[in-house]
Amino acid sequence: MYDTIAAVSSSGGPIGLIRVSGEHAIAAVEAVFRAKNGKPLSAAPSQKLVYGTLHDKNNNMIDSCFAVCMRAPHTYTGEDMAELQCHGSTALLTQALEALFAQGVRQAEAGEFTRRAFLNGKMDLAGAEAVHDLITARTAEAAQNAAAQVMGAVGSPVREIREELLGMVAHFHAIVDFPDEDIDPILFDDAAALLHRTTTRLYGMAESYERGRILREGVPCVILGRPNAGKSTLLNTLLGRERAIVTPIPGTTRDLIEENVKVGSILLRVSDTAGLRDTTDPVEQVGIDRALAQASASSLILAVFDGSQTLGDEDMLVLARAAGQRAVAIVNKSDLAQQLDIDRIKHHFEHVVYLSAKTGEGLDELLHLIPNLVGLTDGAYDGALITNARQAAALARAAERCEAALYAAQSGMTPDAVVMDAEGAIAALGEITGETVTEAVVTRIFSDFCVGK
């Protein structure tokens, strides 16, 4: 069905993994590998590691390693597969690949192993996309959610809903085929009940995308404040290390400093910025312009105010930029005598946290507040959160078509009106699992994968 492909699946460490898949996978690896027991690799039991030596295309021994053969259909791709587990240097892995290419194997394309798994029915398209999320996960919770989706946490309920809709449509098609028969009103009632339940369920799945996106990508977060309000000290405290330079000289921070900070189950993509103020320094002004642009693009603003100072014109710039956005007012330097007009701060911000970035006092309150603000508190990450924009859009379209079919069923429209919208929902759901997706979409999805995955 396909030619035989190979790629480095894991490298950069002490161990490198070369994956081979296709009709001649086992024979190709057998040609470059010599088992210590003297037996051909093809004689070894499936899934069992065999120790031996690896040889280049000129038959020179280049490594001692393990090999394993895996026989279809019980493999990742559904095809015959073989793997070499050798030392991880780039030079060695390159020689091993060249030896395999000399056996007629070709270089795998990006995502081709997972694409073959999808095309051979080893996983649906939602599961295949979750493989990419699992590989790129930046938190344990994101990895847990993706792993559940690889195992069918999205595909299984979507197929279940699709099958229910297909059954309903089949009943209506029978009526359309025999127009002289009286239509049992119970059929419309049953269809309405199913469509109501399905619409609610699909909208719920689609609406989980915002939280799922935060889980997968993290929260773009910017720290804003006047010079010397304690922004850089706050960043260092969040990180638990000295990342940003802290001095009493205003304007020390002139460019964006970006770091990832784990807060509960979420990842904050934090940007420390130049202090907001009027300045004649063109370099500092560039930093301030970048700070304002970053604030506009962020999902969360940590607005830092110096609690030991009265509100000034620079603080008014912070208030103006944070207006209308998801923001927390941080009254910093709580370890000093307070002069800030707290009532005015509370008038502009729903959430106010008092802390000392220098001592860390009050930091726990901020860390507890942030997950609640973004709607992602600690919980079970069982794959129910939709993390893929394509899937979320398809779910929303399916919900809209089910809602339209529900209206048709409840309004006494003809059966073909119910069928038309229900079939639209079925097609949209098929885009998620792969039954109705186009080749162009499949190609685009797998082009985002790494080679070897």
Other beta carbons less than 10 A from residue 279's beta carbon: 16
Q: Domain span at residue 356? A: 218-373
Do residue 296 and residue 199 come from a single domain? no
Do residue 254 and residue 172 come from a single domain? no
Give the model confidence (pLDDT) of 40-59 as tens digits.
Answer: 999 999 999 999 999 999 99
Pick 431 or 358 by higher pLDDT. 431
Give the model confidence (pLDDT) of 87-146 as tens digits.
Answer: 989 999 999 999 999 999 999 999 999 999 999 999 999 999 999 999 988 888 899 999
What CA–CA distance (Å, rounded) separates 119 from 176?
Answer: 35
| 330 three-state secondary structure | strand
Burial (Cβ within 10 Å: 0-12, 13-18, ≥19) of residue 151: middle
Pick 322 or 79 by higher pLDDT. 79
Give domain status of residue 241, yes or no.
Answer: yes
Give domain status of residue 318, yes or no.
Answer: yes
Q: What is the pTM of this model?
A: 0.81
Say which CATH number the domain at 14 has: 3.30.1360.120
> Is 206:433 a contact under the CB 8 Å cutoff?
no
**Strand runs labelled E in 3-98:** 5-10, 15-21, 33-35, 50-55, 61-70, 81-87
Do residue 57 and residue 158 come from a single domain? no
Say which CATH number the domain at 441 has: 1.20.120.430
Say which CATH number the domain at 327 has: 3.40.50.300
Q: What average pLDDT does this structure show over 366-385?
A: 82
Q: What average pLDDT does this structure show over 3-30?
A: 92
Do residue 230 and residue 351 come from a single domain? yes
For 154-168, give the DSSP string.
THHHHHHHHHHHHHH
Residue type, 427: A
Give the model confidence (pLDDT) of 376-425 as tens digits.
Answer: 766 678 899 999 999 999 999 999 999 999 999 888 787 888 899 999 99
Q: Among the three residues 373, 402, 423, which one is the final residue of a domain in this structure?
A: 373
Q: How many domains does the chain have?
A: 3
Residue type, 217: E
**Torsion angle in degrees (nearest 10) through CA of 193, 199, 205, 206:** 180
Q: Which residues pair with 61 in a beta bridge?
A: 55
Do residue 306 and residue 199 come from a single domain? no
Phi, psi of 67 (to 5 degrees): -135, 155
Q: What average pLDDT does this structure show over 171-183?
A: 65
Give domain status of residue 122, yes or no.
Answer: no
Q: Could you give the count of Cα atoms lying within 13 Å of 4 in the half-sphere of its Cβ?
A: 22
Q: Among the three residues 373, 403, 436, which one is the final residue of a domain in this structure?
A: 373
Do residue 199 and residue 322 come from a single domain? no
Per-residue pLDDT at 38 exceeds 90: yes
Strand order in 81-87's β-sheet? 33-35, 50-55, 61-70, 81-87, 15-21, 5-10, 106-107
Q: What average pLDDT does this structure show over 188-195?
A: 90
> Is 311:336 a contact under the CB 8 Å cutoff?
no
What CA–CA distance (Å, rounded) separates 269 from 171?
Answer: 51
Give domain status of residue 411, yes or no.
Answer: yes
What CA–CA distance (Å, rounded) separates 315 from 129?
Answer: 45
